[in-house]
Structure 1
Amino acid sequence: MADATSTRSPATVEAAAVSERIPPRRLFAFLIMVFGMFMSILDIQVVSASLSEIQAGLSASSSEVSWVQTAYLIAEVIAIPLSGFLSRAFGTRLLFAISASGFTIASFLCGLASTIEQMILWRALQGFLGAGMIPTVFASAYTVFPRSKFYIVGPIIGLVATLAPTIGPTVGGYITDAMSWHWLFFINIIPGIAITVGVLALVDFDSPNFALLQRFDWWGLIFMAGFLGSLEYVLEEGPLYEWLQDTSVATCAAICAVSAIAFFYRVLTAQEPIVDIRTFADRNFGIGCLISFCVGIGLYGLTYMYPRYLAEVRGYSALMIGETMFVSGITMFLTAPIVGRLMLRIDMRLIIATGLIIFAAGSYQMTWITRDYDFYELLLPQILRGIGMMLAMVPTNTIALGTLPPDRVKNASGLFNLTRNLGGAVGLAVINQVLNDRTDLHIARLHDRVTWGNATATETLNMLAQRLQGMGDSALMALKQLSQIVHRQAVVMGYGDAFFMLTLFYVCLSLMVMLLKKPASASTEPAAH
């Protein structure tokens, strides 16, 4: 029997080839949108290395300045799932332009803020408006371009989604060191204007359906905001205030539980639900979201742990932390095109599993951490982290969204991105709790061992006392220094425990990949009609 492809006429083959080409205008428009998404995700972490400067500039307390981050995250996590409905109603072009312009105006207002209350308000607005750009780019990548080009667009959005939060502290450190914290926000203005104009001029992916706005489910939005907003608050503040022992955390937990019940009832019964959670019934999408949730734990968790260790134990400045963290960013950038090529040749499930195991290997390298770990000791773990993250993230995006019917991708993209952000929030809460509990445990154990009967402890105390002679009560000062040494060692041991926990978690997660259905190859040619 002759091969089917050999019976196709030259005209049919040429028409198929033309349909597979990406028009330069469309590709350029997509890249503009990708840069907007990069700005939005970058701003989650860009202030993290400069919170002390913002605190000083606005005369805020440490608890108040933490809301510069929390307000952005709460607003973003509410807006991301909402974007699916809004992109169908307004269309990609109009929604993205509104998001980009609103994000730019909010950034300008953040830079002008003179009080902490103003900053928190404008950061919440910035997070809410900017969030619309993230799932819109994901949806466009898997609906606008032919399936055979997913190996190109998949790594682009995967790189941005992982690279932006990773290099956020680096960028923030450089900007604050070179200029001032105000420029963390002012730097968004010119790119934001260019993105808005470029999207309005070039994007023509779809058409708006304004009739959907007449059926907008306001109750669904209220319940979703109560559910996700209070959940984010509980996860952010819980580890700091002993969870339900704090009145505000307990109140938000109650609001979260009631709102969650109301929200799920509403989206399952409304004529036009604000979020279509039935998409989770698709096996690859549901498991892909679960993997994305777990990858978010590592993505945001390690972006938090490394800078905290370098600041708390090594005493690094924001700039020094940024320079050390940049290794993972470079690794991700170099790995992205390789992942795209691998997706053409290797089962994507195998790539995801390999990435998760490499990520676990990078975390395992850090279980031996000491207070002397510096740039070179962190080099290999960060390289492994960057490679593992890209290998796990990019094929997961494609399996979860690239196998869905095009009419379901817009809504699904919001849910998919929400799971990654929620994974990050849960990861930070768990990591903070582990660090606090294990540090306290190690302090207690070390105090039991550091006694007068311990020759090493006595020798160290005598050496410190001799060094401090002539500076007041040398014995008391030596005892304080020994206590600080014990505390620092307990902190480092806590970090080792947290890294070991992540190692076990990602080794186990790699087994979950077997539950995914084998997707068609990214290079599969569409059938001719």
Structure 2
Amino acid sequence: MKQESHTAFQGPMLWITALVLTAGNFVAILDSTIANVSVAHIAGGLGASNSQGTWVITSYAVAEAITVPLTGWLSKRFGATRVFCYALVSFGIGSALCGLAHSLSFLIFARVLQGFAGGPLMPLSLTLLLRIFPKDKATVANGLWSTTTLVAPVIGPILGGWLCDEYSWPWIFYINVPIAIICGSFLFVIFHNHREDLQKHPIDKVGLLLLIIWVSALQIMMDEGKDKDWFASNYIITLAIIAAIGFAAFMIWEITQKKDPIVDLTVFRHRGFSASVLTLTLGFGAFFGINVLTPLWLQTNMGYTATWAGLATVWTGVSALVISPLVTSLSSRIDGRKLVFGGVLWMGGVTFIRSFLNTDVDYWTIAMPLLVMGIGMPFFMIPISAQAMMSVKPEEMESAAGLMNFLRTISGAFATSLVNTVWENQTNYKHEQLSVLLDSTGNIFRELVASGFDTEMARGIINQLTTSQSVMLATNDIMLYSSVAFAIAAFAIWLGPSTKKL
């Protein structure tokens, strides 16, 4: 059905509409990080462990990842403006349900709904910004969108920490409700008379079902494996089999699906795209994993409040924002592989330095490496998208962008589960080792008793000291492993050709 396309907006209405669109992008990205410093509060409020609390992060990321590949089909079938408006309002409703949750299971259910709605917001906000701005101001639209994309993750931890400390954890979700519903309703009115080219393409129902099955099974297996003793549990074995078979069936189906596949895997034939996606998946997974771990470690082991944990981690985003304009300028003149390689290797080097911390570190000893690490972020995140998109044909860009965003999102979810599992296992392992070494002669115990502590208190003090050191050592191990992942990601970018040769 052929319909009139969008026309460019003008005057104040252009900027009002642009701000409303970026607000939709802002809340979707904000919710990927706002819960990072709130896990301990949420888990405590709902009677769950910290490891179970990370489901609040992974459930949103997985749900978001599943709907990202559907964005193109939804836009063609129902129109980009209509999908964006409905998704934004639905995001607000999902946020309200999250705040009203009184159990972890209901909160995870609400986060899944919120993630389903949030998936299309980020790609469609850019699409619609480019539509409403005149072609000669396309760079302004891109700049506005990029700034929002960088600002939201910076504000997330600070805002989440402050709301948890000053009010309560449901408010990290409630703040989305008025923004989403008001902005969504405004856009319904503004875009009411604007028409789009709609195409009734069939949806790849089998591919979508297989995608949901293998991603969900794998994520549940990774989240629950540590609590079920991994493959000693028939439940975990069953999930692993479902994930493996589902993934194999999905790959076979998508490769052989010639018309309207849910994920166009043929774009992987482009060496530049494959190398870029491999770098992005490893690098973003490592970054997201330690970004979740850091505030959790600060709150559970270092005595930080959620607010101060957010203030410590925010420095990564601050330096990234300052450096971004320089990187944008360099991207047009320098081989993208050099920028990505330098940025990712820089992040890996700083992470390696962070693997030597101890329990006596002060605020700035924690914050300064994060500030320095943020310098490398724009060199990684800004050129990598161009490196990937310039490697594919123009008609493949939509599919390539959807696949890249899917893998980026899902790598963050998987990394969160993996880091949390390894951190917990390493903590227990280090605790067993230190328990033998710390007071093998019993001198510390006898000195505590002689100082006036009773037997139970003396044992408690020794156990607390052992636990504190065990968590610190386990955290350092995660930083070391993550630095290796960054190094591999940095060198992987050289598998692709120079963008100047494409």
The reply to whether TM is greater than 0.5 is: yes
Match of 1:276 among 264, 270, 277: 264
Residue 357 of structure 2 is aligned to residue 357 of structure 1:
no
Residue 499 of structure 2 aligns with which residue? 519
Cα deviation for residue 427 of structure 1 reads: 2.2
How do residues 20-99 of structure 1 correspond to structure 2 at under 5 angstroms? 29=17, 32-55=20-43, 67-99=55-87
| 2-structure distance, mates of 1:205, 1:387 | 42
Match of 2:476 among 483, 496, 509: 496
Match of 1:245 among 210, 226, 232: 232
Residue 250 of structure 2 aligns with which residue? 263
Contact 2:96 2:177 in 1 (8 A): yes
Return the TM-score normalized by structure 1. 0.82
The one-letter code sitting in structure 1 at the alignment partner of 2:373 is R
Residue 495 of structure 2 is aligned to residue 507 of structure 1:
no
Residue 427 of structure 2 aligns with which residue? 439
Contact 2:61 2:412 in 1 (8 A): no
Residue 452 of structure 2 is aligned to residue 464 of structure 1:
no
Cα deviation for residue 387 of structure 1 reads: 1.5
Residue 3 of structure 2 aligns with which residue? none
SS at match of 2:247: helix
Contact 1:352 1:513 in 2 (8 A): yes
Cα deviation for residue 424 of structure 1 reads: 1.6
Cα deviation for residue 159 of structure 1 reads: 5.5
The one-letter code sitting in structure 1 at the alignment partner of 2:205 is W
Cα deviation for residue 416 of structure 1 reads: 0.7
Contact 2:98 2:111 in 1 (8 A): yes
| 1-structure distance, mates of 2:303, 2:127 | 42
Contact 1:75 1:124 in 2 (8 A): yes
Cα deviation for residue 56 of structure 1 reads: 5.7
| 1-structure distance, mates of 2:297, 2:177 | 33
Cα deviation for residue 206 of structure 1 reads: 8.7
Contact 2:62 2:409 in 1 (8 A): no
Residue 196 of structure 2 aligns with which residue? 207
| 1-structure distance, mates of 2:126, 2:343 | 21
Residue 467 of structure 2 aligns with which residue? 487
Residue 304 of structure 2 is aligned to residue 316 of structure 1:
yes
Return the TM-score normalized by structure 2. 0.86
Residue 235 of structure 1 aligns with which residue? 222
| 1-structure distance, mates of 2:478, 2:53 | 26
Contact 1:352 1:392 in 2 (8 A): yes
Cα deviation for residue 405 of structure 1 reads: 3.8
Match of 1:191 among 162, 173, 179: 179
SS at match of 1:49: coil
The one-letter code sitting in structure 1 at the alignment partner of 2:460 is K
Shift of the 511–54 alpha-carbon distance from structure 1 to 2, 3 Å rule, reads closer
Greater shift after overlay, 216-225 or 30-39? 30-39
Greater shift after overlay, 66-75 or 121-130? 66-75
How do residues 121-520 of structure 1 correspond to structure 2 at under 5 angstroms? 121-137=109-125, 160-161=148-149, 164-165=152-153, 167-197=155-185, 199-200=187-188, 201=190, 207-212=196-201, 215-270=202-257, 271-453=259-441, 458=443, 460-467=444-451, 469=452, 471-473=453-455, 476-520=456-500
Shift of the 316–349 alpha-carbon distance from structure 1 to 2, 3 Å rule, reads same
The percent of aligned pairs where both chains have the same amino acid is: 26
Cα deviation for residue 355 of structure 1 reads: 0.5
The one-letter code sitting in structure 1 at the alignment partner of 2:475 is Y
Mark the structure with the bigger radius of gyration. 1
Cα deviation for residue 149 of structure 1 reads: 8.2
SS at match of 1:316: coil
Shift of the 386–202 alpha-carbon distance from structure 1 to 2, 3 Å rule, reads farther
Shift of the 120–440 alpha-carbon distance from structure 1 to 2, 3 Å rule, reads closer
Cα deviation for residue 161 of structure 1 reads: 4.7
SS at match of 2:261: coil
Cα deviation for residue 54 of structure 1 reads: 4.0
| 1-structure distance, mates of 2:108, 2:418 | 25
* Unpaired runs of at least 5, structure 1: 1-20, 523-529
Residue 4 of structure 2 aligns with which residue? none
Contact 1:296 1:422 in 2 (8 A): no
The superposition leaves residues 43-91 of structure 1 with CA deviations (integer Å, 9 ceiling, x where unpaired) of 1332343345445655667777554444323322221222232223233
SS at match of 1:191: helix
Cα deviation for residue 155 of structure 1 reads: 6.4
Residue 526 of structure 1 aligns with which residue? none
Cα deviation for residue 236 of structure 1 reads: 2.6
SS at match of 1:372: coil
SS at match of 1:211: coil
Contact 1:92 1:205 in 2 (8 A): no
Contact 1:162 1:299 in 2 (8 A): no
Greater shift after overlay, 222-231 or 399-408? 399-408
* Unpaired runs of at least 5, structure 2: 1-7
RMSD: 3.4
The one-letter code sitting in structure 1 at the alignment partner of 2:73 is F
The one-letter code sitting in structure 2 at the alignment partner of 1:282 is H
Contact 1:38 1:160 in 2 (8 A): yes
Greater shift after overlay, 358-367 or 487-496? 487-496
Shift of the 364–65 alpha-carbon distance from structure 1 to 2, 3 Å rule, reads closer
Shift of the 444–153 alpha-carbon distance from structure 1 to 2, 3 Å rule, reads farther
The superposition leaves residues 263-294 of structure 1 with CA deviations (integer Å, 9 ceiling, x where unpaired) of 22222233321221212222222222111111
| 2-structure distance, mates of 1:54, 1:426 | 20
Contact 1:348 1:395 in 2 (8 A): yes
The one-letter code sitting in structure 1 at the alignment partner of 2:477 is D
Contact 1:29 1:202 in 2 (8 A): no
SS at match of 2:200: helix
| 1-structure distance, mates of 2:54, 2:485 | 28
The superposition leaves residues 91-130 of structure 1 with CA deviations (integer Å, 9 ceiling, x where unpaired) of 3222211211111122223333455554333222111111
| 2-structure distance, mates of 1:441, 1:155 | 47
Shift of the 376–303 alpha-carbon distance from structure 1 to 2, 3 Å rule, reads same
Cα deviation for residue 321 of structure 1 reads: 1.0
The one-letter code sitting in structure 1 at the alignment partner of 2:171 is W
Contact 2:285 2:412 in 1 (8 A): yes
The one-letter code sitting in structure 2 at the alignment partner of 1:330 is V
